[in-house]
Chain A
């Protein structure tokens, strides 16, 4: 099946720093989703990308859908303590229409030191 690989696995940064993480796949994805999971909570959608090359922002978050459709990047600018959590990339199966059946990456754990 399709697999998503995220890097880095974890990040320890100072408040105010910018963060960059990525997600790659050996197969094409037609939709890229970025979720954040906080302790004791379910994943919450941050950004959805639907078109190769698309660059989308949500406040301090910016994500890009790679031209090859095999990768995506998430950047967080001027990090704050509440950015702490696990960030997952995810996507539905290529060629399918089941947007609810998502493949998730293994996550990037972000720790922000005040």
Chain B
């Protein structure tokens, strides 16, 4: 069964360092998303991406965050200068069409020290 894959599964970084989280969405999907889940809390929407541009973003997604689809398969989330409060599980998700089911990856755990 097709699935959303994410790398790395866990990354530990120092505060102030840049981090790139990578995602390979399901191949025929057109809409891509990043969500965040701080330990023990709910899943929160960060950003949606369609047709090679951001379609919507939350207030969490400030200037320190960026997303990119550098080729036909990868979808990345970059955090320029990580803060302690960026420590969380980051989930990539994708869906095929406008009303389709959202499929989540297994997540990338980011720990900022």
Chain A residue nearest to B92 (CB atoms) is: A42
> Do A100 and B104 touch (CB < 8 A)?
no
Q: How many residues of A contact B (CB 8 A)?
A: 20
| Contact residues on B (Cβ < 8 Å of other chain), bracket | 20 to 34
State whether A99 touches B102 (Cβ < 8 A).
yes
Residues B48 and A101 in contact, CB atoms below 8 Å apart: yes
Known pairs A41-B107, A43-B91; A100 contacts B42 (CB<8 A): no
Chain A residues within 8 Å of B33, by CB: 100-101
If the complex has contacts A101-B48, A104-B43, are A42 and B95 also in contact, measured as CB distance less than 8 A? no
B29 to chain A, nearest CB (A): 10
The distance from the CB of A99 to the nearest CB of chain B, in whole angstroms, is: 5
Tell me the B residues contacting A by CB distance below 8 Å.
4, 31, 33, 35, 41-45, 48, 55-56, 91, 93, 95, 98-102, 104-107
